[in-house]
A and B are shown apart, each in its own frame.
Chain A
Amino acid sequence: MKKAKTFRPTAFAFPYVGVTIVFVIVPLILVLIYSLIGEDGSFTFNNFIDVFSNPENVNQLFKTVGIAALSTAICLVIAYPVAYILASSPFNKIAILSLLFIIPMWINFMLRIFALKSMLQMIGIGQSYGAAVIGMVYDFFPYMLLPIYTVLSNMDKSYNEASLDLGANGVKTFLKVTLPLSLPGIISGISMMFMPIFSSYSITMAMGDMNTSVIGAKIATLFEQDSYGYGSALSFVLLVIVIAVMLIGSALSGKTSKPIKGGKKDE
C-alpha cells in the first residue's frame, strides 16, 4: 500500500520556512553584524559604546517610552468604556455599531492623520506634543478597542451572574470579575499600541513640534545619513527591548489568558 514517493504534508510549509529564513532571520543577523562593524570595516563595539555614551539617545528612548505610555494610557481609558458599552445589552444587538468604530482601520492611516491634522488646525491646535499624542490615540484607537471588545463580548455571562448570585453588586462584579477577566484583551490592546509607537515617527513628524519625536525617527535619520553601524546598533537595542517587552507581555497574559474560556482542562 505504500506510495512510491512518500510525501509529508508538512512540505507545504517549506516555501514559507525558506522565505522566513532569508527575509526575517538573516536581516536580524545582519542588524547585529552591521552594528559590530566600524566605519573602516573592522570588528568593533564602538557603535554600542556610542549608543549608550550619548545621553541624547537615552533621553530619546525615555521620551519615546513617555509618549508611548501616555498615548496608550489615554487610548485605553477611552477604548475600555466604549468596548464595555458595545459588548453590553442592548448595544451588542446592533451589529453595525461596533463596526462603525472599527471602519477607520481600513482607511490609510496617513490620510487619517492628514484629516485629523486639518481638523485640529481648523480649531486652532497647531503642531505640538499634545497634538502628537492625539494623533497616536486617533490612529491606534481601533487596534486598542478591538481586542478588548472581543474579550468582553465573548465572555461567558455566567461569570457575571455567579458574582451577582454570590452577593456582589454591579460595581463589585465589574472590579472583581469582569475587569480581571478582560485583562488579556487589555494586554493585547496595549501590545498593539505601545511598541508600534516606537516606530511611528510619521505621526510625530506630522503632528508634533520640533521637540516631539520617537526613537524610530532617530534610526531612520541615521540610515538616511548612511551611518549603518550606529543605526544598526540602535536598532539592535530596540530589538532587545521589543523581545523583553514581548516576554513580559506573554508572561502576563499567559497567567491570565489561559483560563478565560473556563471549563475543562486542555489535556
Chain B
Amino acid sequence: MNKKPSSIVALIVKWLVLIIVLAAIYLPLIMIVAYSFSPARSIGDEFGTFTLSLYGKLFENEKLLSATRNTLVIGIISATLATLLGTTASIGIHYMRKKSRAIIDASSQITIVNAEIVTAMGFFLLMLFLRDTLLLPVNFSITWLIIAHTVITTPYVILTVSPRLKQLNPNTLEASLDLGAGPMRSLFTVMLPQLAGAMVSGFALAFTLSLDDFVITNINSIGADIETISTFVYSGIRKKLPSEIRALSTLIFAVVLISLIVYNIIKNKNAKNSKGDKK
C-alpha cells in the first residue's frame, strides 16, 4: 500500500505543528534548566563555566527554603484533608436522591467556576468576621491557608472519585451495613479499598492545585508573614529574583518528570497484571 505524496506532505505539516508548539512550551523551561548550571546573572547572559553553585546557594537561601517548605506543608496537609473530605462526600452524595445531589453539586460547582479573586475575598472576609465580629481567637496563619486550600480543592477530589464510585457495585456498602459492620468500619473495610486508585488521583490533583495556587494564598496571607513559592516569585518577579530560583525550578521540573515516569511505569505494570488476571 503506497501512501500518496499528498498524505506524506500532510503528515510532515502535522509533525511540524506539533514540534513548533512543543518547542514553544519547552524552550523557556529548558533555558531555565540549562542556566541553573551557570553562574550568569540572568538567562541569556554569557553561560560561563558549568557550576552547581546555584544549588548550593539555594540551600542557603532561608527565605526560598521556607517558601518551599510552606508550599509543601500546605499542599500535603490540604490535599490529604481534601481527599478524605472529598471521598466521604462522594460516597454520601452517591446515595443521595437526585434533588439533594443537585444542590450539593451546584455548591461544589460554585467553588470550581467562581473567580478565584472572589473566593479569596470570601475567605478574607470570613476571617475578618470570625476575628473582629465574633471575636474568636483566630488569625491569618498557615492553618488558615491549609483550610482555604482544602476547601477549594475538595470539589476536584469529588469530581475524580464520583465517576469511579458509579462503576462500583451499588450494593456493597449496604451489604456491609446489613452484615452488621458499623458505618465507619464499612467505610474503611469496604468502600475505601475499592476507591484507592481514584483517591490517589484525587490527592495528586488536589496537591498540584494547591501548589499552583497564587490568588487565595496571596490575599489570605495579608497580615501574616507567610510565603509560598508562588507568592515569593510574584513579589520578586518585577524586580529581581535570586538566581537560585533557577535551581529550584529545575529540581521541581525533575521531580514532576520522575513522578510521571514512575506513575506511568506503575500504570503499565498494573494494566499488564490485570490483563494476566483475566486469563
| A contact set with B: CB distance below 8 Å | 3, 7-17, 19-20, 23-28, 30-31, 34, 78, 81-82, 85-86, 88, 91, 97, 99-101, 103-119, 121-123, 138, 141, 191, 195-196, 198-199, 201-202, 205-206, 215-216, 219-220, 223-224, 228, 231-232, 235, 238-239, 242, 246
Known: A13-B104, A14-B92, A91-B18. A216 touches B117 (CB 8 A): yes
Question: Is B173 among interface residues, defined by CB-CB distance under 8 A?
Answer: yes
Question: Is B260 among interface residues, defined by CB-CB distance under 8 A?
Answer: yes
Closest CB in chain A relative to B148 CB, distance in Å = 8
Chain A residues whose CB sits within 8 angstroms of the CB of B14 once the complex forms:
85, 88, 91
Considering the complex, which residues of chain B in the window 94-116 have a beta carbon less than 8 Å from any beta carbon of chain A?
A: 94-96, 100, 104, 107-111, 113-116
Give the docked Cα–Cα distance between A119 and B173 (Å).
54
- The chain B residue sitting closest to A30, CB to CB, is B125
Known: A91-B14, A199-B116. A100 touches B215 (CB 8 A): no
Question: Is B58 among interface residues, defined by CB-CB distance under 8 A?
Answer: no
Closest CB in chain A relative to B243 CB, distance in Å = 11
1/0 per residue, CB under 8 A from A, across B197-217: the answer is 000000000001001101100
| Contact status A196-B25, CB under 8 Å | no
Give the docked Cα–Cα distance between A25 and B32 (Å).
42
Chain A residues whose CB sits within 8 angstroms of the CB of B237 once the complex forms:
110, 113-114, 117, 205-206
> Which residue from B28, B91, B158 sits with its C-beta under 8 Å from A112?
B28
Question: Is B65 among interface residues, defined by CB-CB distance under 8 A?
Answer: no
| Contact status B118-A242, CB under 8 Å | yes
Question: Is B60 among interface residues, defined by CB-CB distance under 8 A?
Answer: no
| Contact status A106-B208, CB under 8 Å | yes
| Contact status A16-B118, CB under 8 Å | no
A to B contact number (C-beta, < 8 Å)? 245
> Which residue from A78, A235, A246 sits with its C-beta under 8 Å from B113?
A246
> Which residue from A9, A86, A99, A141 sits with its C-beta under 8 Å from B95?
A9
Query: For chain A, what secondary structure do more than half of its interface residues adopt (helix, strand, loop), or is it mixed?
Result: helix
Give the docked Cα–Cα distance between A97 and B15 (Å).
11
1/0 per residue, CB under 8 A from A, across B205-235: the answer is 0001001101100110010000001100110
Question: Is B86 among interface residues, defined by CB-CB distance under 8 A?
Answer: yes
Chain B residues whose CB sits within 8 angstroms of the CB of A20 once the complex forms:
104, 107-108, 151
- The chain B residue sitting closest to A207, CB to CB, is B237
Interface size class of B (residues with CB under 8 A): 35 or more
- The chain A residue sitting closest to B231, CB to CB, is A110
Chain B residues whose CB sits within 8 angstroms of the CB of A220 once the complex forms:
117, 215, 218-219
Query: For chain B, what secondary structure do more than half of its interface residues adopt (helix, strand, loop), or is it mixed?
Result: helix
Known: A199-B117, A239-B115. A31 touches B122 (CB 8 A): yes
| Contact status A199-B115, CB under 8 Å | yes
Known: A119-B31, A235-B118. A228 touches B128 (CB 8 A): yes
Closest CB in chain B relative to A222 CB, distance in Å = 9
Considering the complex, which residues of chain B in the window 2-34 have a beta carbon less than 8 Å from any beta carbon of chain A?
A: 14, 17-18, 21-22, 24-25, 27-29, 31-32
Chain B residues whose CB sits within 8 angstroms of the CB of A15 once the complex forms:
85, 88-89
Chain B residues whose CB sits within 8 angstroms of the CB of A23 once the complex forms:
123, 126, 147-148, 151
| Contact status A216-B230, CB under 8 Å | no
Give the docked Cα–Cα distance between A91 and B230 (Å).
35
| Contact status A97-B29, CB under 8 Å | no
